[in-house]
Amino acid sequence: MIWAIGDIQGCYDSLLNLLEKIKFNPKKDELWIAGDLVNRGPKSKEVLEYLYSIKDSIKIVLGNHDISLLAIAWGIKSSNPTLEPILKDSRSDKWLKWLAKQPFIQVDLKLGYVMAHAGLPPEFGLETSLHYNRILMRRLQSKGAKEWLDNMMKKSEDHFEALGGDLAQERYMLSSFTRMRFCYSDGRLDFNQKGSPNEKSYAKGLLPWFEVKKRKHIKEKIIFGHWSTLNYFENDEVCCLDSGCLWQGKLTAKRLDSKKAKIVQVDCPNGIKP
């Protein structure tokens, strides 16, 4: 069986409950995880430790909180109490090296799915998105990774500028893959609105990225997380699996290798009160 699950964010007990509920067996099953493995939740270290132990049975994409963990480990950002247990563990070096090698996009053309933490930028198709995924991966694994990530986090880029230079373009693509929610009709990203789509957001000209009319068509269904206020959402083109586990919501799994739609959820009582 092949399952995809949404943002875990350190909610280890809920993860184990969900895997038990779907009868996940790492010896024969495959698990896709839509990013944000760690941060804010009560047991980020346990999540990372467990996922590393089954790394040959999982496909993950990096989320903004996973990038933050790397930035903290490399001295770019200040730490916080939920991530300190990871950094103080003697095994942290191998965990972080493994994390830094993970992609921003996973794709299986046979299954008909693409996964990115926040989604794919509306103005680019799959081929271009994968091209920039490879560039970002090389940057994150290079000798200059710390300096590059520091540059990435100094500012945000809300649009792709063809003549903007490599760093500006990479900053936009990183933002799209890991932080995107709303866009304007021309595809510019908005980093301020974090709620669910409503009359006020539409009145401001803000659209969910997947509703931008000029969005490049991608045949495969896009799985994403990052948007807990959107909750579990699915149509013919996209599927959001972030159902607010961290915020005492639910952790959601979707079966990918079955023609019959199957969604399984567990409650997350140990999260943070919204």
The span from the first CA to the last CA of the chain, in angstroms, equals: 33
Identify whether the C-beta of residue 70 lies closer than 8 Å to the C-beta of residue 150. Answer: no
From CA 125, how far away is CA 43, in angstroms rounded? 36
- pLDDT per position as a tens digit, 112-159: 999 999 999 999 999 999 999 999 999 999 999 999 999 999 988 999
Model confidence at 49, pLDDT cuts 50, 70, 90, reads very high
* Eight-state DSSP code of residue 244: B
Under CATH, which architecture does the 2-267 domain have?
Answer: 4-Layer Sandwich (3.60)
Identify whether the C-beta of residue 118 lies closer than 8 Å to the C-beta of residue 179. Answer: yes
Q: What angle do CA 99, 102, 103 make, to 5 degrees?
A: 150
Host H or E run for residue 2: strand 2-5
**Paired tokens of 64:** 């903004």
* DSSP-derived 3-state class of residue 129: helix
At 76 the pLDDT is 97
Residue 274 pLDDT more than 80? Answer: no
At 138 the pLDDT is 98
